[in-house]
Structures are given as structure tokens and as C-alpha cells.
Amino acid sequence: HISSLSRYKSQPTKTRDGKAITLLANAELPEDISTISAAGAQGIGLYRTEFLYMNRLSPPEEEEQLAAYRDVVEGMNGQPVTIRTFDLGADKTVDGGRQLSQNIVTNPALGLRAIRLCLTQPAMFRTQLRAILRASAFGKIKIMFPMISTMNELFQARNLLEQCKAELDREGLEYDRHIEIGAMIEIPASAVCAEMFARHVDFLSIGTNDLIQYTLAIDRIDDHVNYLYDPLHPAVLKLIHMTLEAGRKHQIPVSMCGEMAGDARYTRLLLAMGLENFSMHPNALLEVKRIINETDLAQLPANTLQIMAVSDAIEADMLIEQINEPDH
């Protein structure tokens, strides 16, 4: 099966009726880079930086981070790398993170995590922003902020970034002056208000792992409620659709970097909704590419988007099977 997929590696990604799609990879560890190149990704759509902060007592210094980001961007040979600022807290615990948030909280997923934690630790956040900026002198880098829920968070993050740029200017250190900035849409409120964010960023990226967790109120790591975790829930689909519409309206790219983007079962549905940028685990890439290359968008069932109005999970499953029938 793998070998039959490998012929897709060198093919461009586009639907049978000619719509070009961008397939990017998610990276969690430096060693993922070789798998990513082998899978034929067009870049990295989500570079998770949490690994840098794990299993240690103090956060990494600027030079260490710069080396890590430079390695990845050079390893990608000119392809774009979207670096997400540290998303610690909740399910992403760190040993050295103990001093970051000492409170034992009942609902860590609703607590001080991701951008919220970044903004309460400005020194640590600035170290990361400086390292990312400096690495942008060595290749195409974009910056992405996790779990944005208010405009204020976005402005604060941007402000810190501008301060870091000014510092680097004073120090005579190089960086990409046109570095693009994006926000992750992974909170229902942010999907509903995606337009508001779309006006102020260069791109949006939908994090379905958290978006589903927060929309359906199910802890993403709690096996007891796992059965409720459903990307086809109409609320989830409507929020994804709203985010894509906001991107179209404001003419900025929207990508998806949660697990849903790498699940071949949803590829055609997402194509029909207008998703053009998929970022996923490198192992999922060729199968998703095969589906894209074998799909004629114009031939998808006319009722594809009706799935957003389907209230019954069994009916939604039937519809998705119909969408995925090979002759479409």
C-alpha cells in the first residue's frame, strides 16, 4: 500500500479538475524533518516548539532556539516553515513549566495555556520571538500564535514582536522584515469572529484538535468522553466553514493543522468546503494527496455541504460515505 502511494510523492497536488492544493506537514521534533522531506510536503504548516521546553528546568535561551529554528528552516531548503510560539499548559505539560504556573487548576484546558501563558511570561516569550525572527534570515519563516481568543491578545503579541524587531535593528541583527503573522483558530468564539482576526493577520490556521474539544466540551485526552469526539458534528463543521469564509472575504489563506486535516475520511468534504491548505502528520500526506488527485471537485455530490445541516450522526456518516465513493 505504502509503495503504491509513493508514486504520488513527485506529483503535484491538484484535483482532477485542476485546483492546486498545498500539502504541508506538522513537525513536533527536529528528527521529523527527514520524514517530512521523504513524504514530499511543500513546507511545514505547524512546527510545534514545545519540545524545546520539555524535560528541563529552565526555558531554552535565544541561541539554542535560534539553532533549532535555523536547522529546520535550512533543512526544508527554502520551503516555508510556520513556527508556532510555545503552546504550553493543559495537555502539554513541562517539568520546567512548574515555575510558570504553580496553581493547581481544575480545568487546565480553560486556564493559562498557549498565548495566555506567553503573554504572562513576556521575557520568555520575547526570547522565543527574537530567536524566530533571527532564524527568518535563513529561510522562509512564518509566525503563528496559538489559541488566540481576543483582539487584545493579538495586538499584545504583535506589539512584543515589533519591540523585538526594533531591538534586532538596534543590534544590527538580520531578520525578514516581511515575516508573516498568523493566528490559530481553535476556540469556537474565534471561529465565530474569524473575520475580525482575518483583517489583522496574514493567515489563519484551524486547530481542530482544540476546536473540537472546546466546541463539544469534551476533554481531548479523556478516554471516557472520547466517543463524543466527532469532527462531523454540525457545530464543528459550521465553525470551520465560517473560518474559511472569513479567509475568502479578506483574501488571506486559511489552513487546517489539526488531526482532521490528515484524516483521509474528511479530505473531500474539506475540499468541498474550500480548504486549500492542509497540514498534517507526514505519514498521512501521501494518502491525502492520492484522494485529492483522484477527486473531481465538480463531481462531488451537490448535497455535500448539506452535511452541516445534518443533525443525526448516522446520517452524517452515510453522507460522508457517499461523498467518498471512488467514482466521484
Measure the CA–CA gap between 81 and 293, rounded to whole angstroms.
Answer: 24
Single out the residue of 43, 60, 207, 247 in contact with Mg ion (rule: CB under 5 A).
Answer: 207
Which one of the spans 121-129, 209-217, 238-246, 316-324 is the region binding Mg ion (CB under 5 A)?
Answer: 209-217
Say whether residue 32 binds Mg ion (CB under 5 A). no
Q: Assess 32 for contact with ligand PEP (CB under 6 A).
A: no
118 in active site:
no
Residue 90 or residue 246: which is nearer to ligand PEP going by CB? 90
Kindly state whether residue 207 participates in binding ligand PEP, applying the rule CB under 6 A.
yes
Which of the ranges 166-174, 204-212, 225-233, 240-248 carries the binding residues for ligand PEP, by CB under 6 A? 204-212
> What is the C-alpha separation between 246 and 251, in angstroms, rounded?
8
Dihedral class, residue 26 (left if φ above 0, else alpha if ψ from -120 to 50, else beta): beta
Q: Which residues pair with 14 in a beta bridge?
A: 20
Cell 491525502, located at residue? 288
* Least distance CB 209 / Mg ion (angstroms): 5
Which window, 4-12, 104-112, 182-190, 198-206, contacts Mg ion (CB under 5 A)? 182-190
| Least Cβ distance, residue 318 to ligand PEP (angstroms) | 26
Instruction: Extract the C-alpha cell encoding 161.
Output: 514582536
| Binding status of residue 208 toward ligand PEP by CB under 6 A | yes
Find out whether 185 and 191 touch, Cβ atoms under 8 Å. yes
Nearer to ligand PEP, 15 or 213 (CB): 213
* Contact criterion met (CB below 8 Å) for 218 and 233: no
323: Cβ contacts below 8 Å, ≥ 6 apart: 268, 269, 272, 300, 301, 304, 307
The x, y and z cell numbers of residue 15, run together, are 484535483
Strand partners, 254: 204
Provide the binding-site residues for Mg ion, judged by CB under 5 A. 186, 207, 210
Provide the binding-site residues for ligand PEP, judged by CB under 6 A. 46, 48, 87, 186, 207-210, 257-258
- Enumerate the active-site residues: 257
Residue ranges for the known binding site for Mg(2+) are: 186, 210
Residue ranges for the known binding site are: 48, 84, 186, 209-210, 220
